[in-house]
Amino acid sequence: MPFAVIMAGGRGERFWPRSRMAEPKQFLNLIGDKTMLQLTMERVEGLAEISDTYIVAGSDFKDIIMEQVPQLPEENIIVEPFGRDTAAAIGLAALVLERKDPREVMIVLPADHYIGDVPRFQKVLKSAVAAAWRGENIVTLGITPNRPETGYGYIYQGELYNAFAGTPAYRVVRFLEKPNYARAVRFLSIGNYLWNSGMFIWRVDLILQMIEKHTPQLARGLNKIGPVIGTEQYLAVLGEVYAGLPKISVDYGILEKAEKVLVMRGDFGWDDIGSWAALDRYAGKDERGNVIEGRGVLLDTSDTFIYSPDKTIGVIGVESLIVVNYRDSFLVCRKDRAQEIKKVVQALKDQGLDEVL
């Protein structure tokens, strides 16, 4: 069975004020009673053994991971001393897995996604594993857009390459950065532009080869870390080397430069629960499109999301707002600007208000 690597190192700034530095969104129960990390762990059951499942996260999160996922062996938590983006995190995980089996397939999944149809998700992933097991192809999952989304990167799907376990795989023509609204509308109308889900499948030795080829500075650092894994020198070397690794995403550093990248369509009810506006899509709404999670009243109000578990909120005469009252902080934001909440977080940092972050 393949390895499963869950990336759990994000800060979830667009979910402020509920998501905080000490407890970001992947450790919160945003949908249902289980946290996003716990739901992700459930989805890999049957795809990878628990002994072959790993979580990559910062050292600040090790205790909360052990608390939320007690079945995971402690040594399967791969701790980053610093956040250096996804290429470094994936490279470090690949070094650990290389010691077990360099020719095995490695599934990389973010910890904070919503999946509506888990059996279908598992079927597509099994097909992706079949496409990757020979060590020739990098495989990613693309999501068919259902709206002109400006918050995601896109994949331009090319011609059919082959089918694996009943699922077609297409060549990736190129990756595209987050578009403006006009381009997102055009992508939606064309049909061959897919959302980049951030889920990747490849063999361990292949991704290490791709790092060596396309990001030599990262490779040089990883080559210093690899030989000391499992020794007393590991933590010291890791701390010294990791700080100097390039801060680069795996998309930009590897996938956009690699020759043989395939995409499979992920028609399993996917969403990147990246902001309050995304969460609004899955909440029960009243006849005017409003959501109240907590206590409050809405008068002459439409298309508004209220989150206030501890205090009562009254809202009159507004539309398309996000209103969040949580602990010591209060947020009011237009829905169409929910992607910009991280700017509020940065402004609070700049003002020295770290106690609310």
The contacts of residue 337 (CB under 8 Å, 6+ apart) are none
Per-residue model confidence as pLDDT tens digits over 93-108? 999 999 999 999 999 9
- Whole-angstrom distance, CA of residue 206 vs CA of residue 125: 18
pLDDT at residue 139, as a whole number: 98
Q: Which token pair is 12?
A: 């979830």
Per-residue model confidence as pLDDT tens digits over 54-74? 999 999 999 999 999 999 999
Instruction: Match domain 3-138+198-261 to its CATH number in 1.10.510.10, 3.40.50.300, 3.90.800.10, 3.90.550.10.
Output: 3.90.550.10
Q: Shortest CA distance to 268 belongs to which of 43, 29, 42, 12?
A: 43
Q: Where are the domains of the chain?
A: 3-138+198-261, 277-356
Chain centroid to CA 141: 13
Per-residue model confidence as pLDDT tens digits over 139-180? 999 999 999 998 899 999 999 999 999 999 999 999 999 999
- Whole-angstrom distance, CA of residue 294 vs CA of residue 314: 12
- This prediction's pTM: 0.94
